Amino acid sequence: MTIADDWVEIDVDVQVELDDVRRTRVIAIMKAVCQEIARKENLAPAYVSISVVEETVIQTLNRTYRAKDAVTDVLSFALLEGEDEALAVETDSAPTDQLPQCLGDIVICWERVRMQAAEYGHSEDRELAFLTAHGMLHLLGYDHEDQEQEHAMFALQEEVLQALAFTR
């Protein structure tokens, strides 16, 4: 089944200073990553909100919602959590005009994108793609609480990055 280019509607709020060219590139990367995951996971139409923020903002969110008073690189706030919730997947019999399911919010710290890209020796684009994939997969219920879960999540992240040519 082919998923349309706009299968995942993404609302992006870039709260850091970027020039217009960089801002456009950042948004394109995040959209491409979410679209690739939607394709791989065969998602029905979906909506995701992504914010790119400064360290103080993500630290406040981390402290407020996770009781961790520290800066982190990415946070995900899934709306479809719990055993009673299930993600809709696209089927041949599903209507194509259905409203998108709201998956939740991803918050990415721009300073951490830059710092971790330098630390790991790859581009900021690759780090942004990695963090977007990581956040999106958390919205879909993936986790890394044990070795088996971590392996599945990180393998899919790497598949997505490879498919989009975001290599180290």
CATH of the domain at 102: 3.40.390.30
Tell whether 1 is covered by a domain: no
Tell whether 58 is covered by a domain: yes
Tell whether 2 is covered by a domain: no
Q: Tell me what pLDDT residue 168 has.
A: 77
Q: Tell me what pLDDT residue 89 has.
A: 54
Global pTM reads 0.87
pLDDT by residue for the chain (168 residues), tens digit each? Answer: 233 456 788 999 999 999 999 999 999 999 999 999 999 999 888 999 999 999 999 999 999 999 999 999 999 999 976 544 445 555 444 445 567 889 999 999 999 999 999 999 999 999 999 999 999 999 999 999 899 999 999 999 999 999 999 987
Tell whether 113 is covered by a domain: yes
Say how far residue 44 (Cα) sits from the centre of its chain.
Answer: 16
Query: In Å, what is the CA distance from 13 to each residue of 23, 33, 52, 153?
Result: 10, 16, 6, 26
Tell whether 35 is covered by a domain: yes
Domain count of the fold of the chain: 1
Tell whether 69 is covered by a domain: yes
